[in-house]
Structure 1
């Protein structure tokens, strides 16, 4: 047997039917990383594509119906690549697998509804989400104008009805949703829509869902037997198959590491239903790579290299990310990121292991590039939100200082927490005080704590933060599968500061959320306004006008605002389909298309051709940056002071950050 025919194959469920099936299906869900891993199954888009090609066109399937492909959501985030591309790089990979219909996942909305609509418009298949409605788009219209159902027709003429459903739980974890969303019961929605699909001639009814396995099982229990034949689920990152109330419930792994191949056979008799044979395929190393997909991965990698040089922000103060600082004392960079985590999730406090910061350098005043963010915060475990008792929080702080003077990564950087410790105290009893919001930690009180998923899994000795899903006692408000990477939060933050070159699809919901973050984060006055001095480096992208959304309807009592922040309406803000009309788009969408453009990406850092005037302008900017750095470092700029008329500089395209040491951590 060939590798494609047998390697990584296991039978999930057998109907014991033989011969040519009436329908052939492929299902997968939750894909993030296009490159292979190191442990089996190693996954990777290129080997995954080889399996898809095998089921699509191998001579073994000659004379059988063409395969139909179903995707159950989560592709556009989180990954380091999506931090750069805002999910755009995944579109060609999804299209290449030949998806026929998809369900929206929570991470597909991480960059806002407007960006999802932009990405979905480039997909060669429909996205469904029937039970999350946005009244602002009209009566009974799903979020982002997604479809509710889809009627597919197999190559042999059989009609398949598809319903897309999501769960209520993950709606409350997304900070970039429109206001007044209406969530409808998944089971009631299926009961309403499935009969309509049957009336349109659907012989097989499929639910593609993005909800946890217990909710899929609940859906199957609540439906009349036979109304829905199979539920193809996502959101959980594991492979599972059950039969509940006569309905097959399947989820197909994660991250291009697994897929399900399904053969469906009509049962004898009218309306008798379907038999399914389900095969699990693990994407193992011995499966050959699809050459065309390998070339796509290579093009993406080369495109990202240029994008990584792109300036994304500006710091007025040196940011201290040295191991010798972040692993044994307070760091202004640690303060900044922890504050950002806290306000992003509307938490009471935040804690981050100092080992999260990997740059091991001082970032001098000046431009911050995208690669600076990704090199400094490379980890791909999202930020989570926990409900923690004061005793557990105190134990976590004790663990953080327990190994000093060794430069262990567990040393805590914090937000809205202050604590002191004695370096010579016995390990486990070093704290001298610990406060949240200026008040001593109440050992019985519950606090909302933003932290890394790594710590919520008890790593680095943080067993007091171990969540229930990992065998601990701590409640997860936002779990890893719903959380957002630190690098993504940083990227969105710097996008929110931009004055020029704004991202076109910075939606009103993102603007509302980040406005509230800024209100809390910048009360200390460490954000510095941009210079009014024009810069020849800033190029204006074409203005872009989008059609306005229909007027917002707020009459339904079912309407509810989902998200961690209270709804606030900005009456001065013009609500449009994703942006205000004068937002410029030089940040993303005016760049050459990733994967498709033969031209190299250029920006004012990487552009090789510059005039002498441009070089002189750059030299002046560099001198100003150096002068400012020397002033902050306490050095006398004896040489630079002779250059008249060249004051300190913050570029006109963004504000500058200047986080400080604030005495949050006291060594006694």
Structure 2
């Protein structure tokens, strides 16, 4: 009887504690930066941490002691990370007075040692609750953090990293990401309830769709500050979960071009629909830079300029990046870059538009550098992966063939695929006859005349042999965000947009990884594209 009475009193004490934690109201301002990807400096007068600092300080003055700044993962990527291992980014976030953060998949790109070095430079807690070693041991990072507001609220926060970590970076080492995110979140909610938190915030590097799923599945999360999908949310989104629990979600795009601001009004621990708001504040040309932040992160940019010309690997031969080479046939440079995409994505095939490769010149043999790759691919786009049926893959190649211009032609140029849409490929070889009818398509993506230029198309098999494209088979595909989104009138890819998703990897960085992997930058003509005369 005494045991039963003790158990009942223990349960009652927990119930009172939980009820007290969620009986509270109040307001707190949450600021966030997600998916910076090394873009800590203003680019063309837009974005950067020095501009963010100006806005953050103004908001903190509005609500002193009740405003908190969080970083939502993928701070790091690209040459800044490669050369300085997060030192520049973490110095900037420190100067902003960041209160907490979580890990993104790109923090793992350079391996465990660099990951630990990067996180060690953060003067704020970097929390993640679904990361473990492969043998089950917990990762050496805190699972959560707690902050007190001037107004007396207790704010708890925890982090989740994408379950796709293993497929998105080879630098994950012995780490694995927990897959059951609702269970991970529920575990952390219960823990933070016991800590007496009035509000619980999830720092989620999992993407908006996953954030919505978690909010529908778990009661107790007041707000989700998101990242990973690079979604620019213009206003707040409320999601109703178990028992009518209300969670609010916000995500602020990418590349430090916007600062997220959530004014969270609490009602029994939930987000109050009437008072809570979210907006992504543009860090535009009208925002002045904080001079102190700008001054203290500038030395890294100056040193980076020097390092960009340091060789990554030998480049034994010239690379022809002239327009007429890339848009009228197989180009060794196109082969190399398409191979890099296929390798990085682990895809069956890869392709990129000839117009996505720039410079319009011959890059001389010598050494491949980051500066070389940046000149070749200046757009800063990301690598996407998806799947296509063989039938759709054949249509992609037919669309590419329409971009081949055969001298003087009578077809309406407005109905043709632009020459920049001619594709460079990997894992494929095909033949086209430019004397035949090209695909004609208007600017709204409506096919006016089917094309007949594609004569033959084959896919490389795992054993190195070639087999015809099977219209009924599903192939995995890697390409750029531009082409995956239907750029250059690749309407089939736009139609299949839901089948593609971002790998959250700059395609320039995918090429750099491939150079480092091969220990050289070499491409050869292999008969991938045949133009019948």
Flag the 1:90–1:413 CA change in 2: closer, same or farther, 3 A: same
**Corresponding residue for residue 570 of structure 1:** none
Flag the 1:422–1:86 CA change in 2: closer, same or farther, 3 A: farther
Q: Does the aligned pair in 2 maintain the 1:22–1:265 contact within 8 Å?
A: yes
2: CA distance, partners of 1:107 / 1:314? 26
1: CA distance, partners of 2:378 / 2:348? 25
Q: Does the aligned pair in 2 maintain the 1:23–1:67 contact within 8 Å?
A: yes
Q: Does the aligned pair in 2 maintain the 1:458–1:464 contact within 8 Å?
A: yes
Choose which of 148, 151, 168 in structure 1 pairs with 2:163: 168
Write out per-residue CA displacement over residues 349-407 of structure 1, whole angstroms, 9 at most, x where no aligned residue. Answer: 11121122213333333222321111112222212122111222122222222132479
**Corresponding residue for residue 216 of structure 1:** 211
**Corresponding residue for residue 490 of structure 1:** 511
Give SS of 2:343's match: helix
**Corresponding residue for residue 410 of structure 2:** none
Q: Does the aligned pair in 2 maintain the 1:358–1:375 contact within 8 Å?
A: yes
**Corresponding residue for residue 372 of structure 2:** 372
Q: Does 1:420 align with 2:431?
A: yes
2: CA distance, partners of 1:348 / 1:272? 48
- What does residue range 509-588 of structure 1 map to in structure 2 within 5 Å? none
Report how far residue 330 of structure 1 moved. 1.4
Flag the 1:493–1:86 CA change in 2: closer, same or farther, 3 A: farther
Q: Does the aligned pair in 2 maintain the 1:76–1:88 contact within 8 Å?
A: no
Choose which of 454, 464, 467 in structure 2 pairs with 1:439: 467
Q: Does the aligned pair in 1 maintain the 2:70–2:100 contact within 8 Å?
A: yes
Q: Does the aligned pair in 2 maintain the 1:84–1:370 contact within 8 Å?
A: no
1: CA distance, partners of 2:296 / 2:315? 35
**Corresponding residue for residue 348 of structure 2:** 348
1: CA distance, partners of 2:478 / 2:177? 28
2: CA distance, partners of 1:174 / 1:231? 24
2: CA distance, partners of 1:340 / 1:38? 29
**Corresponding residue for residue 204 of structure 1:** 199
Q: Does the aligned pair in 1 maintain the 2:131–2:178 contact within 8 Å?
A: yes
Flag the 1:100–1:327 CA change in 2: closer, same or farther, 3 A: same
Q: Does 1:465 align with 2:493?
A: yes
**Corresponding residue for residue 18 of structure 2:** none
The answer to which structure, 1 or 2, has the higher relative contact order (CA under 8 A, 6+ apart) is 1
Flag the 1:296–1:315 CA change in 2: closer, same or farther, 3 A: same
Choose which of 27, 43, 52 in structure 2 pairs with 1:48: 52
2: CA distance, partners of 1:91 / 1:272? 32
Q: Does the aligned pair in 2 maintain the 1:388–1:475 contact within 8 Å?
A: no
Flag the 1:398–1:266 CA change in 2: closer, same or farther, 3 A: closer
Flag the 1:387–1:194 CA change in 2: closer, same or farther, 3 A: same
Report how far residue 22 of structure 1 moved. 5.5
2: CA distance, partners of 1:160 / 1:495? 44
Give SS of 1:181's match: strand
Give SS of 1:127's match: coil
Q: Which runs of 5+ in 1 are unaligned?
A: 1-19, 467-471, 498-654
- What does residue range 617-656 of structure 1 map to in structure 2 within 5 Å? 655-656=519-520
Report how far residue 474 of structure 1 moved. 4.9
2: CA distance, partners of 1:85 / 1:464? 41
**Corresponding residue for residue 330 of structure 2:** 330
Report how far residue 263 of structure 1 moved. 4.4
**Corresponding residue for residue 397 of structure 1:** 397
2: CA distance, partners of 1:282 / 1:180? 36
- What does residue range 19-38 of structure 1 map to in structure 2 within 5 Å? 23-32=28-37, 33-36=39-42
**Corresponding residue for residue 194 of structure 1:** 189
Give SS of 1:447's match: strand
1: CA distance, partners of 2:250 / 2:57? 21
Q: Does the aligned pair in 1 maintain the 2:485–2:497 contact within 8 Å?
A: no
Report how far residue 155 of structure 1 moved. 4.4
Flag the 1:242–1:474 CA change in 2: closer, same or farther, 3 A: closer
Flag the 1:167–1:427 CA change in 2: closer, same or farther, 3 A: same
| TM-score for both structures, normalised by structure 2 | 0.80
**Corresponding residue for residue 5 of structure 2:** none
Q: Which runs of 5+ in 2 are unaligned?
A: 1-24, 408-417, 440-451, 461-465
Report how far residue 455 of structure 1 moved. 0.5
Report how far residue 347 of structure 1 moved. 1.3
Q: Does the aligned pair in 1 maintain the 2:163–2:177 contact within 8 Å?
A: no
Return the structure number with greater helix share.
2
Flag the 1:323–1:87 CA change in 2: closer, same or farther, 3 A: farther
Flag the 1:343–1:274 CA change in 2: closer, same or farther, 3 A: closer
2: CA distance, partners of 1:257 / 1:658? 35
Q: Does 1:249 align with 2:113?
A: no
Query: How large is the Cα RMSD of the aligned pairs?
Result: 2.8
1: CA distance, partners of 2:260 / 2:360? 43
Q: Does the aligned pair in 1 maintain the 2:103–2:126 contact within 8 Å?
A: yes
Flag the 1:346–1:195 CA change in 2: closer, same or farther, 3 A: closer
Give SS of 1:89's match: helix
2: CA distance, partners of 1:252 / 1:391? 37
**Corresponding residue for residue 619 of structure 1:** none
Report how far residue 493 of structure 1 moved. 2.8
Q: Does the aligned pair in 2 maintain the 1:405–1:423 contact within 8 Å?
A: yes
Moved more, 294-303 or 346-355: 294-303
Report how far residue 51 of structure 1 moved. 0.6
2: CA distance, partners of 1:180 / 1:55? 38
